[in-house]
């Protein structure tokens, strides 16, 4: 089978790496990919939102299955584009249609869905510029800290948490009236602050059945001890060591099953991954967000723990036969540490030569922002550059291997967090 993966991050490299091990794979293409994906498949220089370019690639290379890595093309309706075009409508797409992708693309849609289906989440209300005054009164009725969320996609920057009442009210005005996040903040969800520990769960679903993937915890802030600016993610651990069997069962009953049943009840087809962003409060899971795709860097720890053939699971997703599939999961722990460009998540330089990848032992190197030059050397091409994934009998052992190999890969102004997993005991 010929496959196309859409995206260019560590997530897409991890998926490509896994699919390249499948006996069912014939040719693998990645659009646009990175230096790492070019080692396991063929990169095609097409942007993730260039639907016509993607269609052309699909036809030229007789692609039968497309895996959409990032959220933007899903929210823009890439799956619907395939379904609506006679020439490619029979190509299977892993990733939901536009309507269902609103679970990630619209916080208000997600909150209404959760409310409708009894899925535990923070108390909330949403506002537009028309009812700004009511929004201010709503904030006054809450206790600090105040959580304000731009409804739409804002590249991970649309959630603002403030301690000061006046600042929170000003922020609401800024979002609604001054369109701080453009169209994305024309509606704002204000919700109760949840005090607990974060973790994420993942499923692959065909819309009626699903398979569970290992849980994970990522580290979003740039600074040690989880301080400073938010990034796309500086590292991750899987499974989450504090997630007991009892907690995972609760998550399955109260969150996962209710979500999949909710999709069925609402008549919303869904083929693809669902990422459940959770805060555990007093041992009870609360959903803070849905993502309609895998996370990055969580994919770099979750997918290597999947021992089953991922392509077979994708085919079962496409054919509505996930109920007959079973997933074998590695019992070890996996960790990843992200090497980033100095300055990231603010301004940083690209084009720095990356050396030492060949010296890495006992870890997997997943490329994110990398590019291959004509002389085959590899250079930095983004903020997050390389993820170093390792296994261990527990997360500490895995981390020790990741950190040993972090030292071997070098580029000018390399930065990374030395404390991934610091809060896990
Ligand atoms: P992402 O980049 O993870 O996709 P996002 O912009 O979709 O983020 P959320 O995941 O909803 O936004 O929130 C971002 C972060 O804000 C969360 O990881 C969490 O730390 C914090 N947060 C969100 N909602 C709450 C809440 N109700 N109480 C406490 N913290 C919250």
Confirm if 63 and 4 have CB atoms less than 8 A apart.
yes
Residues 187 and 201 in one domain: no
Residues 166 and 218 in one domain: no
Residue 297 lies in a domain: yes
* 172-181, 209-218, 251-260, 374-383: segment of lowest average pLDDT: 172-181
Residues 238 and 146 in one domain: no
* pLDDT for 179: 87
Single residue among 79, 95, 111 that ends a domain in this structure: 95
CB neighbours of 84 closer than 8 A, spacing ≥ 6?
none
Cis status of the peptide bond prior to 345, with omega within 30 of 0: yes
* pLDDT for 328: 97
Residue 114 lies in a domain: no
CATH code for the domain of 162: 3.30.1490.20
Residue 40 lies in a domain: yes
Tell me the C-alpha distance between 324 and 281, whole Å: 34
Q: Whose CA is nearest to atom 1 of ligand 1?
A: 156
Query: Considering only CA atoms, which of 240, 222, 311 is closest in space to residue 25?
Result: 311
Sorting pLDDT into bands at 50, 70 and 90, what band is 154?
A: confident
Q: Is the pLDDT of residue 156 over 80?
A: no
Residue with tokens 């895995």: 398
289 ligand 1 Cβ < 6 A: yes
Sheet with 3-7, side-by-side order of all strands: 42-43, 28-32, 3-7, 65-68, 92-94
Residue 337 lies in a domain: yes
Distance 358 CA to ligand 1 centre (A): 37
Which whole number is the average pLDDT over 14-32? 98
Residue 136 lies in a domain: yes
* pLDDT for 63: 98
Residue 106 lies in a domain: no
Query: Would you call 134 helix, strand, or coil by DSSP?
Result: helix
Residue with tokens 């979500």: 259
Give the distance, in angstroms, between the CA of residue 225 and the centroid of all CA atoms in the same chain.
22
Chain segment 61-78, per-residue pLDDT in tens? 999 999 999 999 999 999
Residues 65 and 158 in one domain: no
Q: What are phi and psi of 112, to 5 degrees?
A: -65, -40
277 ligand 1 Cβ < 6 A: yes
Single residue among 73, 95, 117 that ends a domain in this structure: 95
CATH code for the domain of 48: 3.40.50.20
Tell me the C-alpha distance between 299 and 366, whole Å: 10
Query: Considering only CA atoms, which of 286, 287, 310 is closest in space to residue 299?
Result: 310
CATH code for the domain of 342: 3.30.470.20
Distance 102 CA to ligand 1 centre (A): 16
Q: Is the pLDDT of residue 419 over 80?
A: yes
Q: Whose CA is nearest to atom 13 of ligand 1?
A: 159
Q: Whose CA is nearest to atom 3 of ligand 1?
A: 156
Sorting pLDDT into bands at 50, 70 and 90, what band is 107?
A: very high
* pLDDT for 182: 86
Residue 211 lies in a domain: yes
Single residue among 148, 165, 191 that ends a domain in this structure: 191
How many structural domains comprise the chain?
Answer: 3
Confirm if 175 and 188 have CB atoms less than 8 A apart.
yes
* pLDDT for 395: 98
Residues 28 and 156 in one domain: no
Tell me the C-alpha distance between 339 and 404, whole Å: 13
Q: Whose CA is nearest to atom 27 of ligand 1?
A: 193
* pLDDT for 157: 82
* pLDDT for 386: 98
Tell me the C-alpha distance between 2 and 164, whole Å: 54
Residues 8 and 139 in one domain: no
159 ligand 1 Cβ < 6 A: yes
Host domain of residue 37? 3-95
Residue 104 lies in a domain: no
Residues 245 and 151 in one domain: no
Q: Cite the DSSP H helix spans in 141-241.
A: 165-176
Residues 69 and 148 in one domain: no
Residues 228 and 292 in one domain: yes
How many residues does this entry show for the chain? Answer: 425
DSSP 225-249: TTEEEE-S-SEEEES-TT--HHHHH
Residues 29 and 72 in one domain: yes
Residues 175 and 202 in one domain: no
CA-to-CA dists, residue 159 to 112, 188, 228, angstroms: 18, 10, 15
Residues 186 and 203 in one domain: no
Chain segment 109-140, per-residue pLDDT in tens? 999 999 999 999 999 999 999 899 999 999 99
Tell me the C-alpha distance between 341 and 156, whole Å: 18
122 ligand 1 Cβ < 6 A: yes
Sorting pLDDT into bands at 50, 70 and 90, what band is 410?
A: very high
Sorting pLDDT into bands at 50, 70 and 90, what band is 178?
A: confident
């Amino acid at each position: 089978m010929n496959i196309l993966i859409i995206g260019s991050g560590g997530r897409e490299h991890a998926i490509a790496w896994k699919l390249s091990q499948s006996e069912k794979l014939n040719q693998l293409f990645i659009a646009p990919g990175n230096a790492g994906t070019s080692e396991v498949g063929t990169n095609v220089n097409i942007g993730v939102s260039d639907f016509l370019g993607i269609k052309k690639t699909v036809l030229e290379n007789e692609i039968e299955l497309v895996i959409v890595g990032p959220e933007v093309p899903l929210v823009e309706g890439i799956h619907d584009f395939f379904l609506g075009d006679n020439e490619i409508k029979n190509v299977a797409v892993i990733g939901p249609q536009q309507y269902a992708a609103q679970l990630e693309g619209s916080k208000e849609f997600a909150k209404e869905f959760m409310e409708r289906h009894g899925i535990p989440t923070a108390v909330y209300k949403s506002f537009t510029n028309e009812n700004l005054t009511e929004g201010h009164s709503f904030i006054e009725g809450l206790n600090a800290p105040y959580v304000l969320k731009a409804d739409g996609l804002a590249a991970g920057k649309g959630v603002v948490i403030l301690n000061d009442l006046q600042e929170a009210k000003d922020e609401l005005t800024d979002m609604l009236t001054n369109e701080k996040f453009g169209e994305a903040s024309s509606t704002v969800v204000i919700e109760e602050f949840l005090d607990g520990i974060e973790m994420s769960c993942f499923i692959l679903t065909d819309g009626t059945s699903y398979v569970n993937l290992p849980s994970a915890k990522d580290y979003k802030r740039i600074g040690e001890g989880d301080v400073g600016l938010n990034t796309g993610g500086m590292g991750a651990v899987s499974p989450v060591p504090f997630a007991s069997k009892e907690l995972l069962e609760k998550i399955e009953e109260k969150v996962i099953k209710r979500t999949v049943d909710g999709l069925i009840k609402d008549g919303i087809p869904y083929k693809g991954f669902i990422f459940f962003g959770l805060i555990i409060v007093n041992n009870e899971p609360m959903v803070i967000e849905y993502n309609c795709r895998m996370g990055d860097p969580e994919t770099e720890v979750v997918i290597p723990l999947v021992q089953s053939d991922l392509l077979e699971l994708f085919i079962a997703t496409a054919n509505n036969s996930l109920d007959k599939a079973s997933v074998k999961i590695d019992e070890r722990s996996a960790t990843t540490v992200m090497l980033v460009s100095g300055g990231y998540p603010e301004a940083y330089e690209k084009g720095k030569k990356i050396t030492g990848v060949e010296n890495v032992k006992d870890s997997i190197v997943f490329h994110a922002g990398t590019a291959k030059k004509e002389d085959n050397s590899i250079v930095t091409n983004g903020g997050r550059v390389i993820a170093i994934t390792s296994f261990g009998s527990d997360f500490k052992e895995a981390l020790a291997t990741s950190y040993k190999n972090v030292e071997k890969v070098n580029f000018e102004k390399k930065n990374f967090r030395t404390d991934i997993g610091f809060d896990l005991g």
